Structure 1
Amino acid sequence: MNNIEDNKRNQINDIVSAVKLSSLLFAGIGIFKCFSIESSKIVQNMIPMYMIISAILVLALIYFIWAFSTTKKFNLKRIKRIQLIENSIFIIIFSIIIFRSGAYASEYKFLFLFIIITTTIQSGMKHGIIIATISSAIILTMDIVYAPKAPINQYFENDLILVGVFLLTAWPLGFYVKVESDYIKKLQSLVNEDGLTGVYNHRFFHDSLREKIISCEEENKPISMIFIDIDYFKYYNDLYGHQQGDEVLKTIGTILKNSVNKEDIVARYGGEEFAVILPDTNEEDAVNIAESIRSKIESTYFKGEENQPNGKLTVSIGISIYPDKAKSDIELIKSADDALYRAKFFNKNRVETYTSILDELKNDIDEKHIDLVTSIKTLISVINAKDRYTYGHVERVVTYSRLLADKLKLNERDKKDLIYGAYMHDIGKINISKEILNKKMPLSNEEWEILKQHPLNGVEIIKPVKSLQNISHLILHHHERYDGKGYPDNLKGEDIPFLARVLTVVDSFDAMTSNRPYNKRKTYEEAIEELRACSGTQFDPAIAETFIEVIMESKDRFDKKYFY
């Protein structure tokens, strides 16, 4: 889009600049003529040199201002204001030149033709005809008021032809400009729109986001980002075919376009995922818009939706805000995507706003360590990129840990340590290759020994941050077993730190109920039976039973299909 618009703008500016330069050259001749009407006076008095130099400088200044107004990239409102002022000034200048060089008998009435041409090219037929009408009125008024009284006003009759030229210049040229503009818009729609859904495409989304962020930075306004993903869309496609799936995408694209303002950007981000850019929108308003979208899609009937796992075709939605929760366009996309995944991992058909455990942590650590914590956040993002399972696992473990902490009635300090530990317990995986993390077959003994190093690696990573030392034992011992057969230190029973025993239960439960490259997911009921079977061997029995109570009390919070 930008290349097409820039090329068009540059071509128009080249044409307009050439026309403006020509008009100023002719205007200059008229200005010089205004200094003296009779050649004898030029010989007798001589035009002062400073007047000639001043006239040249004025014309040069006018040209540079004019050129600046056509090449400088202003917003649309400012451009229209500049063009209005510019047209008014030059109508006045040309009128004075015409009046001073003979009024009704002036040879410079054609000067108006230049401004008619430039206005029509820049602003279209309507504005061109307005300028042509004003110019015609000025010329014909001079003919009526200042021409010699005679039965037939020859000047008026001759200038009627000139008026016709003015109007005929604005009309066909304006029509051509409109046709060309429509053609450019058609090209833009082909380049910028998703051919299936009619919303904008992925590339236009990124271009627009960068532009909106720059604009909102200048105006000190927020931008909200909404990411939308269709729940179980692969299941729907497999059941009814891609053609019917395409109809779903079209319908949702229409719902999205009808749910936001004209200045908002709706784009198909990829596959079954959509994105919406909401300039000058705070988090509360974005949540309301997102909830409205979710509700509209849920209440819309889609063919065969009754066979979906949820009984309806629904969407999950994630929200983030710039600059409150992200400092760049990349961070905004990533944080909105994180919020979307949180919505999908927990029950789907819901709206989630982005929250970061490490953002909370920044309030609890020394200011000098904030950069280190930011680096840790970056490391976790790298791990997520290497292993998508790790991201979902961490988010779920954090959520389970919050619920279990409340059930255990932990004090505020222990609750925070458990949550921070849950968030960073797998940070040591940064040193493990993607091939091992994503291997679909059981790990070899050598690979298993490499994987077992991640608790030690994690402790080393957070060691420079003194404020994180409270959670080092959670990272180090979350794979210890209650019977002493865990790693890395083979701790047994209550020798294992209490919060580490809590994290072990939560971590293991999520591992059992998640799809792993080498492990088929268990239902929640199967995982609960596994917790009970391993109580006293792998897990602290009291903590395991308390966690089972949490899961049973929180059924509605999680995806119901996990219980079957």
Structure 2
Amino acid sequence: MKKIDDKRKQINNIVSVVKLASLLFSGMGIFNFIINKYNITRENLNYTLTMWMIIFSILILILIYAIWAFSTAYKFNEKYVDRIQVIENLFFVCIFFVVLFLTGVHESEFKFLFLFIIITSTIQVGMEHGMLIATISSVIILIMDLFYGTTTGKNIYFEKDLIIVGIFILTSWTLGLYVNIESEYIERLQSLANKDGLTEVYNHRFFQDALKTSIKLCEDNKESISLIFIDIDYFKHYNDLYGHQKGDEVLKNIGAILRSSVRKEDIVARYGGEEFAIILPNTLEKDAIAIAERIRLKIENTYFEGEENQPNGKLTASIGISIFPDKADCDVELIKSADDALYRAKFFNRNRVEAYYSILDELKKDIKDKDTEEKDIEIITSIKTLISVINAKDKYTYGHIERVVIYSKLLGDKLGLKKEDKKNLRYGAYMHDIGKISILEDILNKKMKLTNEEWEILKQHPMNGVEIIKPVEALNGITDLILHHHERYDGQGYPSGLKGKDIPYLARILTVVDSFDAMTSNRPYSIRKTHDEAIEELKRCKGTQFDPEITDAFIDIITKNKDITYL
């Protein structure tokens, strides 16, 4: 909290002023000692020069401390602050001891100086340290009385100083109690400001500040920081069935599970309604995945009242992971990439852990490795944003792209493509629908059959896609894929009506893969085909819509790898 930090700085400044005052009084004691020691009087010719030298020396010492105290306040690493304050307070005790020794030892009038450091140390460090300083100060004064006081009869200095010792102890104790009460109050305020009242984990605001701080520390120490996003599956369904009170109980239990599943240095926060985030400092991706998987299993294996009525019979969570600096350059990118991974986990049947991955990030790395123009990297970043917009407009597109990339990779390996062609096929698969950015959401999500006019608009997306990627020289190899992935082997496709071998080879591959996934996916305007029905459709359209050789190779892959169709 900014107000609390400001208050602490004000207290630190006041304490520094008090210590300066104690130095000033100490200087007065040293000043008296020098005058008496060397019998400096007005009749002495060196009186004025000596006086000014003494005053100047004391002021210089005080100025040095003032500059140090006010310029270094709160600039040390937090874990070293208390240690530095303890050393500083003991240093002041030593100074006051010297002053007492120079100004009459047991007869000195400067015993009150210890009160300054007892008060300031109690305020700064707390009751225990204040009592320690009070005890040390008392022992110093009483030992001086015993060693230098009268050895016969009454030791009046010892008796009088017992009262001073009582004042020292009482001051540190009462002031320490007040400081403890104030500290507890501040902690409660911080807890109210930083914690989510329902789940007892940190709130969204604290998470944002903590993430920025953690990233800065990781940059300084050249370490990695992982971010986990957790979202409760079908939570709205649960709330609708049992009401928000029961939903709140679920959130409390999830919060407790998360707190018990992380390390002391990790930060658990409630990011949104049913969404949580965990910051894992100095953690590699593989370790973050292991932690996330343990959390997922713990949630899945915990019984929540009424979970049997959830869509999958259990109350579960989807989890996304990203890592800085490997997959994000700043806190904003880290949040977005972890959120993308979470979206992918939820899209692919939920109750799973997904680490962030983007082919466009791989492309950006390739561009950097080739030392091409910076504007190309900026355009790639823009393309990535455009694809995110398309995903938001058309939920089908997101999963479709991911699956088409997987199918394309498998088919490219099967056909023995060269390394460069495999890479272009993957990039093309990822960006083949980017032209849909200019298509109205109403058309993309229309449940009834498209009108002729709407169909003509939809058919423009390959050409729109080419226009978007054209400025990037590194993407020249995929323009044919994007432009011609809706051509037909019999020449009845669009936009150019190319036929047979005239259609670029990689585009023919993409056509088969794209069509198969379209047939086996839930789409607004068509009924999803089963795995076997889609294979029969590929066989039926072989030689008319699809390249026969490529179709046979793909059918062979799909038949041998049936599980991948359920991604």
Structure 2 length-normalised TM: 0.89
Q: Which residue is equivalent to 1:30?
A: 29
- 1:68 maps to what in 2? 71
Determine whether 1:506 maps to 2:509.
no
Distance in 1, Cα, partners of 2:514 & 2:211 = 37
In structure 2, what is the equivalent of residue 471 of structure 1? 478
Structure-2 residue corresponding to 1:154: 156
SS in 2 for 1:227: strand
Residue 418 to residue 121, structure 1, CA distance change in 2 (3 Å)? same
Name the amino acid aligned to 1:106: S
Structure 1 range deviating more: 130-139 or 284-293: 284-293
User: Could you say which residue in structure 2 is the equivalent of 1:286?
Assistant: 288
Q: Corresponding residue for 2:122?
A: 120
Contact 2:511/2:546 (8 A) holds in 1: yes
Q: 47, 51, 57: which is aligned to 2:60? A: 57
Q: Which amino acid letter does the alignment assign opposite residue 461 of structure 2?
A: H
Q: Which residue, out of 302, 305, 309, partners 1:303?
A: 305
Work out the CA distance in 1 between the residues paired with 2:157 and 2:533: 99
Aligned equivalent of 2:20: 21
Q: CA deviation at 1:549?
A: 5.5
> Counterparts of 1:30 and 1:437 in 2: how far apart (Å)?
87
Q: 2:504 aligns with which of 497, 502, 510?
A: 497
The answer on 1:359 being equivalent to 2:361 is: yes
More deviation in 533-542 or 159-168?
533-542
Match of 2:528 among 516, 522, 525: 522
Q: Note if contact 2:535-2:555 (Cα within 8 Å) is conserved in structure 1.
A: no
CA offset at residue 476 of structure 1?
Answer: 0.8
Percent identical among aligned pairs is: 61
Give the 5 Å matches for 1:70-219: 71-219=73-221
Asked whether the equivalents of residues 20 and 63 of structure 1 are also in contact (C-alpha less than 8 Å), the reply is: no
What is aligned with 1:480? 487
1:398 to 1:527, Cα distance in 2 relative to 1, 3 A: farther
2:469 aligned with 1:462: yes
In 1, Cα distance between equivalents of 2:566 and 2:241: 21
Contact preservation (8 Å) 1:133, 1:167: yes
Quote the offset at 1:176 in angstroms. 1.5
Q: CA deviation at 1:424?
A: 1.6
Change (3 A) 1:486 1:160: farther
In structure 2, give the amino acid aligned to 1:66.
Answer: A
TM-score (norm 1): 0.89
Please report the RMSD computed on the Cα atoms of aligned residues, expressed in angstroms: 3.0
The 1:42–1:292 alpha-carbon spacing in structure 2 relative to 1, beyond 3 Å, is farther
Other-structure match for 2:237: 235
In 1, the alpha carbon distance for the partners of 2:34 and 2:63 equals 18
CA distance in 1, matches of 2:404, 2:297: 28
CA deviation map 1:212-262 (0-9, x unaligned): 111121222211111222233333333443333322222221111111111
Aligned residues: 557
Match in the other structure for 1:420 = 427
Task: Show structure 1 runs of 5+ residues with no match.
Answer: none
Q: Distance in 2 between matches of 1:549 and 1:351?
A: 30
Point out where structure 2 has 5 or more consecutive residues left out of the alignment.
Answer: none
**Preserved CA contact (<8 Å) 1:230 1:315:** yes
Who is 1:256 aligned against?
A: 258
Q: Is 1:379 aligned to residue 383 of structure 2?
A: yes
1:139 positional shift: 1.4
Quick one: distance in 2 between partners of 1:545 and 1:127?
A: 81
Aligned in 2, Cα 1:433/1:169: closer, same or farther, shift over 3 Å?
Answer: farther
Task: Tell me whether 1:324 sits opposite 2:326 in the alignment.
Answer: yes
CA deviation vs aligned residue, 1:309-329 (integer Å, no higher than 9, x gap): 444332222222111221111
* Amino acid aligned to 1:477: H
Deviation per CA, 1:101-140, whole angstroms, max 9, x where unpaired?
A: 2221212111111111111111111111111111111111
SS at match of 2:36: coil
Q: Partner amino acid for 2:506?
A: L
